[in-house]
Amino acid sequence: MPFFTSSILDLNPYDKIKAYTWNEAQIILNYVKVKHSHWFNFLKFKFLTGCRTGEVIALMWCDIDWDKERVLIRRTYDRNTKKFYPLKNDKTYKGEQIRKFPMPKDGELWNLLKSVLQDEPSEIFFKAKSGKVTNLSSFTVAWRGRDKGLDIEQKGIIQELIDQKKIDKYLRPYNTRHTFITHAVFDLGIDEKIVSKWCGHKVEVSNKHYQDVAIFAERINPEVPQQQSKINLLEQKLAEQQELINRLMENRDI
């Protein structure tokens, strides 16, 4: 059991926060870039794509399609068997064999991947310091820390930031996925069907497990109209234009 202070133990059974805010994600990344630089690219990729940790570990150079500006998520890594497997696609989960995640040229994800020294197509993208496959246990220790009996052996990234009062809650590394999905849907206004397609699950699964409405519910002023997403605004304008066309046609027929 890793060492955590009472400030980050989830003592409240009604506290269902699953994601960090995007601002907190940047705080974490800025700290990691300075104090744990080896994990910066790995962790930023998780925040930018919502990929599961095993999928990030399994990413290879051949999965980066520069010409079509996309990342292909084809496999995952199992730390127990130490083997690569296709994406989830069993009887209980009808997933896709390959997910295609957009990577616009000169965008944040594009520039992140371009910053890594290119290797052979069959080589792992995010390697351990030893040059081998990333050790998930090492990343987990860096994230949450490690204790030895009653003494702290190593304080994790999140505990350090909580001690500095920069964030106030511990969430597992897996919750970088929740953070991306929540940010994409609520901050950027991207259609949840598209986000679910990127992340490889159904919209119902996203609604139930990944979208952290609690983060944004407290920010909303019920007395002020909320800004609509670009898609909604476009749909509204098209509807208004169609209504205008219908009126003109009716007047012409009179």
pLDDT of residue 56: 97
Residue 245: inside a domain: no
pLDDT of residue 4: 40
Residue 10's alpha-carbon distances to 18, 31, 169, 171, in angstroms, are 11, 23, 8, 9
> Taking 50 as the threshold, does the pLDDT of residue 251 lie above it?
yes
pLDDT category, 237, cuts 50, 70, 90? low
Q: What is the pLDDT of residues 197-216, one digit of tens each?
A: 888 877 666 555 555 555 55
Write out the two tokens for 32: 């990691």
Number of domains in the chain: 1
Q: Could you tell me the end-to-end alpha-carbon distance of the chain, in angstroms, rounded to an integer? A: 79
Mean of the per-residue pLDDT values for the chain?
80
CA dist 115 and 33 (Å) reads 14
User: Residue 69 is part of which domain span?
Assistant: 1-226
Residue 247: inside a domain: no
> Taking 90 as the threshold, does the pLDDT of residue 74 lie above it?
yes
Angle at 23 between CA 174 and CA 50, to 5 degrees: 30
Residue 126: inside a domain: yes
CA dist 254 and 247 (Å) reads 11
Residue 121: inside a domain: yes
Using CB atoms within 10 A of its CB, is residue 83 exposed (0-12), middle (13-18) or buried (19+)? exposed
- Helix (H) and strand (E) counts in the chain: 11, 7
> Taking 50 as the threshold, does the pLDDT of residue 90 lie above it?
no
Q: 186 or 12: whose pLDDT is higher?
A: 186
Residue 164: inside a domain: yes
CB 168 within 8 A of CB 5: no
- The answer for 82, left when phi > 0, alpha when psi is -120 to 50, beta otherwise, is left
Residue 193's alpha-carbon distances to 12, 32, 184, 229, 238, in angstroms, are 32, 32, 11, 14, 21
Range 121-146 average pLDDT:
92
Query: Residue 193's domain is classified under what CATH number?
Result: 1.10.443.10
Residue 236: inside a domain: no
Hey, what's the torsion of the CAs at 209, 9, 56, 181, to 10 degrees? Answer: 30
pLDDT of residue 2: 42
CA dist 157 and 42 (Å) reads 14
Q: What is the pLDDT of residues 147-204, one digit of tens each?
A: 765 555 788 999 999 999 999 999 999 999 989 988 988 888 888 888 888 888 776 6
Helix (H) or strand (E) holding 77: strand 75-78
**Of 11-20, 54-63, 171-180, highest mean pLDDT:** 54-63
Residue 187: inside a domain: yes
> Taking 80 as the threshold, does the pLDDT of residue 224 lie above it?
no
H helices present in 70-174, as ranges: 108-114, 136-144, 157-163
Q: 215 or 48: whose pLDDT is higher?
A: 48
